[in-house]
Each structure stands twice: as C-alpha cells, then as structure tokens.
C-alpha cells in the first residue's frame, strides 16, 4: 500500500512517516516557544535511522517556512546590529558546510553531529557567561561556526542561541533575531545544495506533508512562550539533545 507513495518520499513506511511527523511537531513546539532548537531536535532524533542528507535539506527548508510564519510577530524585537554581524560570516560558513554535507562519510558525519550537540549541552548547563561586553569579532566567529554547522547538519542555530544567551542578551531579542537570521542565511544553503547535487523531489514532497504538523506545533509553542518557564523548557531540550547525541555516538562506535 505504501509502495505507490514511496517513490515520492524518502521514508520507507507509514510508521516512519508518522514518527517523523511526531518529531517535527514536538520540535516545532520548541521552535515556536524559544525561537530555536527545531533543527537540532529533528536532526538528532532522526539521523541514526534516516539518511542525514535528506533530513538536513528538509529541515533547512522547514526553517525558512517557520521563519516566514513567525516573522510578523517578532520583527519589533530584532537587533539588526547583531543580525548583520552574524549573517555576514554565517553565509561563508554555510557554503563550506554544504560542501562537507555532500562529501562526508555518514559515520563521521554522525560523530560530528553528536560531539557538537554534547558540547552545546555541556556549555549550556555550565551556565558560562562572557565577562566582557560582546564584540564584533565574537559575533563574526559565532556566525561562521554556526553557519558551518548549519550547512553541514542544520544545527547551527542552537550554538548561536547559546553564545547570545551567554552574552546576556534578552531572551526576546535572541528569539526574534534567530527567526530573521534563519530567513536570511538559509537561502544560501539551497544555492549551495543545488550545485552539490543535494536537492531532489523526495525531499520536497516529504517536506510538503510535514508543513502542517510543523505549523501547528509553532502555534502551540508561541502560546507556551507567554505562559511557560523558558528556563524549564531549555533544560528539557538540553537533556533530550544529550540523550540523542549519546545514542548517535553509540550507534556509530558500537554498531
């Protein structure tokens, strides 16, 4: 029964499609609430049972749609000075990251994703804060590294959020700036992906099916932003990413 649909999607069964939709919905709630974490949660949850290249391209496409959907509600809180400093170097890093995505060995790719996410978890839980005021160099470096991992695995946003949080920017500013950042930087990914042969119809059809659960999740998440403790949600996200990263490493190193 699934065979008629299979040629249009990159999943192998209805159960895989349902599981992927559930992951997207839950990750979208987080995205709607705190402005980031969607890509990291989707990639970390699926990279050890689906082709990473497919997931990364799908998630980047969904990030653009999510940013468009959220843009009208956050534009007044965007810090354009920070955004400019981040976006310039992020575009460069993104181009390099896509090249790696197209050519990396899958096992090495999984290790890089898992180690990166574990670093983010440890960095965030340590509650490190920069003692000196934010500088142009720090923002440029953060943009470059985030852009690199965005292109390679669609997970640069959570690093960016960690750096901005540690630089004592208000949560509302981080959330709004992250939304616009994705909208500006991600089109670069698709240009690079096209030239590296990473785009196909299966990705676009699968994304089209998953747009509805993502948008519903964002709506719920946006409502939770008003009533839910942002600190509690962040901790839940970090614990989930830690567990998923460890699972990914075990899969590569043991199996």
What is the residue-wise DSSP string for 8-70? T-SSSSHHHHHHHHHHHHHHHHHHHHHS--HHHHHHHHHTTTS-HHHHHHHHHHHHHHHHHHH
Q: What is the pLDDT of residue 196?
A: 94
Name the domain count of the chain.
Answer: 1
Q: What is the pLDDT of residue 179?
A: 82
Element (H, E) at 155: none
CB 90 within 8 A of CB 138: no
Domain annotation covers residue 4: no
Q: What is the pLDDT of residue 149?
A: 96
Domain annotation covers residue 6: no
Q: What is the pLDDT of residue 252?
A: 74
The one-digit pLDDT tens for each residue of the chain (255 residues) are 556 666 788 998 889 999 999 999 999 988 888 777 888 889 988 987 898 999 999 999 998 888 888 877 777 889 999 999 999 999 999 999 999 999 999 889 989 998 998 898 888 888 888 988 889 999 999 999 999 999 999 999 889 888 988 888 887 888 888 888 888 888 899 999 999 999 999 999 999 999 999 999 999 888 877 776 667 767 777 777 887 788 777 777 765
Q: Which residues of 36-70 are buried (b: 16+ CB within 10 A; e: fewer)?
A: bbbbbbbbbbbbbebebbbbbbbbbbbbbbbbebb
Range of the domain at 44: 12-254
Domain annotation covers residue 3: no
Domain annotation covers residue 33: yes
Domain annotation covers residue 7: no
Q: What is the pLDDT of residue 246?
A: 81
Rounded distance between C-alpha atoms, residue 62 and residue 80, angstroms: 23
Domain annotation covers residue 90: yes
Q: What is the pLDDT of residue 183?
A: 82
Domain annotation covers residue 152: yes
Domain annotation covers residue 107: yes
């Amino acid at each position: 029964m699934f065979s008629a649909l299979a040629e249009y999607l990159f999943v192998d069964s209805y159960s895989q499609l349902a599981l992927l939709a559930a992951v997207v919905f839950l990750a979208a709630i987080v995205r709607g609430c705190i402005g980031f974490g969607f890509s990291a949660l989707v990639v970390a949850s699926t990279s050890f049972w689906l082709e990473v290249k497919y997931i990364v391209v799908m998630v980047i496409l969904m990030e653009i749609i999510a940013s468009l959907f959220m843009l009208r509600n956050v534009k007044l809180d965007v810090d354009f000075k920070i955004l400019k400093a981040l976006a310039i170097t992020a575009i460069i890093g993104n181009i390099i990251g896509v090249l790696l995505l197209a050519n990396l060995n899958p096992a090495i790719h999984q290790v890089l994703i898992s180690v990166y996410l574990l670093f983010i978890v440890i960095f965030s839980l340590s509650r490190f804060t920069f003692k000196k005021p934010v500088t142009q160099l720090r923002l440029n470096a953060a943009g470059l590294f985030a852009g690199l991992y965005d292109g390679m695995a669609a997970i640069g946003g959570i690093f960016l959020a960690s750096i901005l949080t540690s630089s004592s920017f208000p949560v509302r500013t981080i959330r709004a700036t992250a939304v616009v950042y994705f909208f500006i930087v991600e089109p670069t990914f698709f240009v690079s992906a096209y030239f590296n042969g990473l785009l196909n119809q299966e990705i676009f059809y699968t994304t089209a099916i998953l747009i509805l659960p993502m948008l519903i999740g964002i709506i719920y998440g946006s409502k939770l932003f008003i009533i839910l403790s942002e600190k509690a949600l962040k901790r839940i996200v970090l614990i989930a990413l830690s567990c998923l990263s460890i699972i990914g490493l075990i899969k590569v190193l043991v199996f």
